[in-house]
A and B are shown apart, each in its own frame.
Chain A
Amino acid sequence: MADESLAFHRRDPIKSSVGNVAANRRRQNAVTVGKERRESLVRAKRLCRVGISGDADADVSLDNEMMIDEEQSILEAQTSSAVEGLKSAVAYQGKGAMQKRVSALRDLRRLLSKSEFPPVEAALKAGAIPILVQCLSFGSQDEQLLEAAWCLTNIAAGKPEETEALLPALPLLIAHLGEKSSLSVAEQCAWALGNVAGEGEKLRSVLLSQGALLPLARMMLPNKGSTVRTSAWALSNLIKGPDPKAATELVRIDGVLDAIVRHLKKADDELATEVAWVVVYLSALSNVATSMLVKNDVLQLLVDRLATSNSLQLLIPVLRSLGNLVAGDSQTIYAVLVPGHEITDGVIKVLVKCLSCEHRVLKKEAAWVLSNIAAGSVEHKRLINSSEAVPLLLRLLSTAPFDIRKEVAYVLGNLCVAPNEGDGKPNLILEHLVSLVSGGCLPGFIDLVRSADTEAARVGLQFMELVLRGMPNGEGPKLVEREDGIDAMERFQFHENEDLRNMANGLVDKYFGERLWA
């Protein structure tokens, strides 16, 4: 029944005409539609518009127009009557009862799969949840389970209170994940649960205590199929915390680590993307997971993906997983990232690739990862300093958007300072400081000092201290002055942050104390 090769993210036919009509619509109702649309775009939930199982349903050519007010209220009316229709179909006991139920469910499902904002509120008001829960009862036909789960999926894809309405349905949805269920039913239930998990911590913890983790994890073990992808996505929502328990539990389940490794190595981009997100949360939340992942050579797999892929969707979670692993337990990571070993060169190379690409997110997060490697041993610093990263970083420090510049600053500063050894003034790596300053990094740092962001100003001032203290032949003060550094520091006299004021005043007093009166 389930055509396993069907695309999960098939391009939705709604998209093309939503473009023009939607643009007009938006101009009319700028404020409310804008806000709602924005919120729905960034939610971690996903509407199911097209069937999982190669729907033979001819009506799948959806209503492509964006609703105008009258049509929206028509839709709502239709939805209410569809729910009523379902209630009577369920009550009916006679011949052909099953067909009646499936047909009624299908009507409701179609109404909930159209338009940008499906009439969920109307459905809930009409009492859709209890009747849908009834349709999920054990022993029901697959088609019925599928349609009911699909309805619930879309009810849960919107606002928080709508998702929360699914609470009564959760135990049954979880139960139908079982290995005896048909694949498409299990997948549709996983999708619904993924939406519920994407809502927030509270619902996540309900799902976990009801035992959703294990069956979902099992669904991720096969080699391919849309079910694997959907369950991986649902898992990424389920373990995202902030409680790290689920992440640790997941990685300990038999077969999960092996599946993750297998998928990172061989899966197509779409599956690898969802699995990579699972790795993101495993590595961010669980030390146990981090160490298991590193021991199973996941680092190399991530590097390989970063080197060979150009899909932004895949690169984001892979890069972030790499970053989380590098930022994690330093003992584990530095045992692998030994300077001179091929893997270390590989990591730096892919980070350079990300820094050179056009995507803002990748540049920013790559700089963060690199800054953590630069926070390693002196050999790590030398390795980075002599790589192609430096000219690139210097350029970015002058020209990139603010958030990238700030991260780049961390890389460069870390290159100039010896590894941390307890309290007291850390030692400089003079060679690196001199070469970076002559490479023209000082203006970029002074720009950060001028910014309204406290952290950036702090970083800028700290680097200026290195320059003032460390540049040979007392050149530091001259260089800083030439780049209007004093000017930048004097701004802090009237700054509301006392620490920054003290830092700036301290530097000015110490290095420019003997100024002449005007």
Chain B
Amino acid sequence: MAMEEHVEEEKQQLGFPYWKSIPRSLGPESPFFASGNIERELLAKQVALDLTEDEKHQLQNMVVEEGGGIFCPIVGCGSRLTSLENFEDHYNARHTASCSVCSRVYPTSRLLSIHVSELHDSFFQAKVARGYAVYECLVEGCGLKFKSYKSRQRHLVDKHKFPSSFEFYKKAHLSKKQRQKLQRKHHKREEDSCMEVENESIDGLISGISKLSTSDSPSSVSFGRRHTRGLTFVPRAVQHEKMPDPTSAGTKR
């Protein structure tokens, strides 16, 4: 135990590459200077004025292409980006698959559907309760399945080098208004019971869900841009546990 804590502390200290104020020297061949070099040659040939807008763009892109091009960095995507400025559009178009139930957003439809099975599908929980291995590995192509969230988590960390702080059931953050509301409620309760709720919440949620009937499952999921929903769907069974009141879980863009 003590060892683990020490390692954790060290990680905290050494883990983050803090901003260091150091000069950056660049060699003459650095891609940083490429656009200036091109400008030099164009000006010398006095053709800058003759270039069409298209050609100017093409020349700029040549620099990027020579640097290897830009690709989307989201796992499993690899799409070629025409320019860095377009990345936001690409991200919003392709990586914001959102759950119609709780508005959580995922970068691929596969992860979204895993989320929906694990958190909004009573069939899934029923299978878990009967001991089937239904927790899929999140890494596309791996194919392994596990009997519990924790064992899948361990697999992700051990085999696929996910950070140990990674949580697929990452806590969604609430809007300012929702948090203020919640905070007011929490001030009334004791700190301890609040903590208890958080720790138990996964198990509580799961056991609650496993008591559900099929009519509680959502019938569709939506993809595309994020949207806020009025109310979270929280299974009736779960509401009976000590959970915070169902609040709208609209997440901010």
A: which residues have CB within 8 A of B? 9, 11-12, 15, 18-19, 22-23, 34, 37-38, 41-44, 46, 240-242, 277, 280-281, 284-285, 312-313, 316-317, 320, 324, 326-328, 330, 360-361, 364-365, 368, 371-372, 374-376, 401-403, 410, 413-414, 416-420, 425-426, 450-454, 458, 462-463, 465-466, 481, 484, 486-487, 490-491, 493-499, 501-503, 505-507, 509-510, 512, 515-518
Give the residues in chain A near B161, CB-CB below 8 Å.
498
Query: Bound complex: CA of A420 vs CA of B23, how far in Å?
Result: 10
How many residues does chain B have at the interface if contact means C-beta atoms less than 8 Å apart? 78
Query: Bound complex: CA of A374 vs CA of B173, how far in Å?
Result: 37
Q: Quick check: is B143 within 8 A (CB to CB) of the other chain?
A: no
Evaluate contact between B163 and A501: CB separation under 8 angstroms: yes
Evaluate contact between B171 and A518: CB separation under 8 angstroms: yes
A469 nearest CB across to chain B (Å): 9
Query: Which residue from chain B places its CB closest to the CB of A240 in the assembled complex?
Result: B28
A-B contact pairs, 26 of them (CB 8 A): A19-B50, A41-B42, A42-B37, A42-B59, A42-B62, A242-B29, A284-B26, A316-B39, A326-B23, A365-B33, A368-B24, A401-B85, A414-B21, A417-B20, A426-B21, A450-B88, A452-B72, A462-B19, A484-B253, A487-B253, A496-B75, A501-B163, A509-B165, A517-B201, A518-B172, A518-B247
Evaluate contact between B62 and A38: CB separation under 8 angstroms: yes
> Which of B10-18, B126-134, B210-218 interfaces with chain A?
B10-18
B161 nearest CB across to chain A (Å): 7
Query: Bound complex: CA of A451 vs CA of B84, how far in Å?
Result: 7
Evaluate contact between A495 and B73: CB separation under 8 angstroms: yes
Q: From known contacts A371-B24, A487-B253, infer whether A316 and B84 are also in contact, taking CB-CB under 8 Å.
A: no
Q: Quick check: is B237 within 8 A (CB to CB) of the other chain?
A: no
Give the residues in chain B near A487, CB-CB below 8 Å.
251-253
B83 nearest CB across to chain A (Å): 8
B69 nearest CB across to chain A (Å): 11
A417 nearest CB across to chain B (Å): 4
Q: From known contacts A502-B163, A506-B165, infer whether A402 and B85 are also in contact, taking CB-CB under 8 Å.
A: yes
Evaluate contact between B165 and A495: CB separation under 8 angstroms: no
Binary A-proximity of B55-72 (CB < 8 A = 1, otherwise 0): 100110010000000111
Q: Which of A18, A365, A410 is close to B36, meaning CB atoms less than 8 Å apart?
A: A365
Give the residues in chain A near B165, CB-CB below 8 Å.
505-506, 509
Q: How many A-B residue pairs have CB under 8 A?
A: 205
Q: Which of B29, B44, B174 is close to A9, meaning CB atoms less than 8 Å apart?
A: B44
Evaluate contact between B28 and A493: CB separation under 8 angstroms: no
Evaluate contact between A518 and B74: CB separation under 8 angstroms: no
Query: Bound complex: CA of A12 vs CA of B22, how far in Å?
Result: 46
* 4 shortest interchain CB distances as A-B pairs: A327-B25, A518-B172, A518-B249, A452-B87
A497 nearest CB across to chain B (Å): 6
Give the residues in chain B near A454, CB-CB below 8 Å.
73
Q: Which of B21, B47, B95, B198 is close to A420, meaning CB atoms less than 8 Å apart?
A: B21
Query: Bound complex: CA of A507 vs CA of B55, how far in Å?
Result: 43
Query: Which residue from chain A places its CB closest to the CB of B83 in the assembled complex?
Result: A402
| Extra 17 A-B pairs, beta carbons < 8 Å, given A37-B55, A450-B91, A452-B70 | A9-B44, A15-B50, A42-B42, A284-B26, A285-B28, A313-B43, A326-B23, A402-B84, A414-B21, A458-B17, A487-B252, A494-B95, A505-B165, A510-B12, A517-B244, A518-B174, A518-B232
Query: Which residue from chain B places its CB closest to the CB of A316 in the assembled complex?
Result: B36
Query: Bound complex: CA of A493 vs CA of B161, how far in Å?
Result: 12
Q: From known contacts A42-B38, A42-B62, A320-B36, infer whether A517 and B198 are also in contact, taking CB-CB under 8 Å.
A: yes
Q: From known contacts A484-B253, A487-B252, A487-B253, infer whether A426 and B172 are also in contact, taking CB-CB under 8 Å.
A: no
Query: Bound complex: CA of A88 vs CA of B30, how far in Å?
Result: 49
Give the residues in chain B near A413, CB-CB below 8 Å.
19, 21
Evaluate contact between A15 and B47: CB separation under 8 angstroms: yes
Give the residues in chain A near B171, CB-CB below 8 Å.
515-518
Q: From known contacts A484-B252, A496-B74, A515-B173, infer whether A361 and B21 are also in contact, taking CB-CB under 8 Å.
A: no
Q: From known contacts A19-B50, A426-B20, A494-B107, infer whether A241 and B173 are also in contact, taking CB-CB under 8 Å.
A: no
Query: Bound complex: CA of A240 vs CA of B28, how far in Å?
Result: 8
A415 nearest CB across to chain B (Å): 8
Query: Bound complex: CA of A317 vs CA of B28, how far in Å?
Result: 12
Query: Bound complex: CA of A43 vs CA of B22, how far in Å?
Result: 34
Q: From known contacts A374-B21, A502-B15, A517-B244, infer whether A42 and B41 are also in contact, taking CB-CB under 8 Å.
A: yes
Chain B CB within 10 Å — which of A417, A494, A509 has the most? A494
Q: Which of A34, A497, A506 is close to B58, meaning CB atoms less than 8 Å apart?
A: A34
Evaluate contact between B42 and A495: CB separation under 8 angstroms: no
Q: Quick check: is B144 within 8 A (CB to CB) of the other chain?
A: no
Chain B CB within 10 Å — which of A361, A509, A516 has the most? A516
Query: Bound complex: CA of A481 vs CA of B91, how far in Å?
Result: 20
Give the residues in chain A near B249, CB-CB below 8 Å.
518
Give the residues in chain A near B114, CB-CB below 8 Å.
none
Query: Bound complex: CA of A368 vs CA of B58, how far in Å?
Result: 25
Q: From known contacts A425-B18, A518-B232, infer whether A505 and B166 are also in contact, taking CB-CB under 8 Å.
A: yes
Binary A-proximity of B115-139 (CB < 8 A = 1, otherwise 0): 0000000000000000000000000
Evaluate contact between A280 and B28: CB separation under 8 angstroms: yes
Q: From known contacts A502-B163, A505-B166, A518-B171, infer whether A12 and B46 are also in contact, taking CB-CB under 8 Å.
A: yes
Evaluate contact between B19 and A463: CB separation under 8 angstroms: yes
Query: Which residue from chain A places its CB closest to the CB of B106 in the assembled complex?
Result: A494
Q: Which of B128-182 contact A (CB under 8 A)?
A: 161, 163, 165-166, 170-174, 179, 182
Evaluate contact between A41 and B182: CB separation under 8 angstroms: no
Give the residues in chain A near B239, CB-CB below 8 Å.
none
A72 nearest CB across to chain B (Å): 20
Evaluate contact between B198 and A518: CB separation under 8 angstroms: no
